[in-house]
Amino acid sequence: MKHIVTLFKAAADDKDLYLETLQSANITCQIIPVIEFRYCNLDGLKEKLKTPENYSGLILSSPRCVMSLKQSLASDDLDPAWKNKHCFAVGPATEKLARKLFDLNPTGSEAGKGANLTPIIVKNLGTQKDLPLLMPASNLALDNISSALSKENITVDAPTVYETIPSPHLGENIVKSIDASHENILVFFSPSGANSALPFLEQNVLKTAKIISIGTTTADALTKLGVVLSGVCQQPTAGSLLELIKPLTHDEK
């Protein structure tokens, strides 16, 4: 029976590396956008970016956070003084975008998630704890990084710069795109995406599908919702997801 992988994630601004990687491995794959983003408080962020002397560096927890810098600056350039500051990124996609847009040199992308980034930040800052770190954030962002750093006497300025909202066409797209007669592999990238999509998925689909989470935070959210997982992708990379999915499709004829 044919396997179909469905990625429940935000639509990519450009080519989607997860989609391309799976398709290049001859795996049938589709994306159902579960969330959309609206930027907010960009004027306030721009003012903060004008004063790099007030911060010890940047924490960029997602590609969307990097884009918030771009959106706030519009046609202006990022103050070059930021390049001499600490910069920390969660995940390789975030690091890649920060390098591409601002020529920054982020540290810690291999950590994969915020909780693992904290000790890297502590080690790199050393005794340089007088100034806060600037961390643009989502309205749904968990306070894990700020809380953990607070215990190390490191202050984080975390302005909300974008809002995460459910896609208005989510239910329609799920009904149209997911067929219970197929061997479905459902991949969730965030707790908010899981919360948005699950109410629209039929029980017969959930009972027979193989469900994968990207990261342990999403895995915890799915488990709390009563979902039985077939796998947890420890690293938020397309290659890691491919390696996890391959064994699940080995019996396809």
Structure tokens of 51? Answer: 């004063």
Domain boundary among 164, 185, 207: 164
Domain with residue 222: its CATH number is 3.40.50.10090
Is residue 219 within 8 A of residue 237, CB to CB? The reply is no
Together in a domain, 106 and 160: yes
pLDDT of residue 212: 97
Domain boundary among 98, 132, 164: 164
pLDDT digits (tens, 9 = 90+) for 16-43: 889 999 999 999 999 999 988 899 999 9
Together in a domain, 149 and 80: yes
Task: Name the CA radius of gyration of the chain, rounded.
Answer: 19
- Select, from the ranges 83-87, 91-95, 168-172, the one with the highest average predicted confidence (pLDDT): 83-87
pLDDT of residue 240: 94
Range of the structural domain that residue 16 is part of: 3-34+168-249
Question: What value does the mean pLDDT of the chain take?
Answer: 91
Residue with tokens 């469905």: 6
Beta strands in 167-246 (DSSP E): 183-188, 210-214, 231-233
Q: H/E element holding 240?
A: helix 238-245
| Total count of residues recorded for the chain | 253
**Nearest residue to 138 via CA among 111, 114, 107:** 114
CA atoms within 13 A on the CB side of 193: 25
Count of domains forming the chain: 2
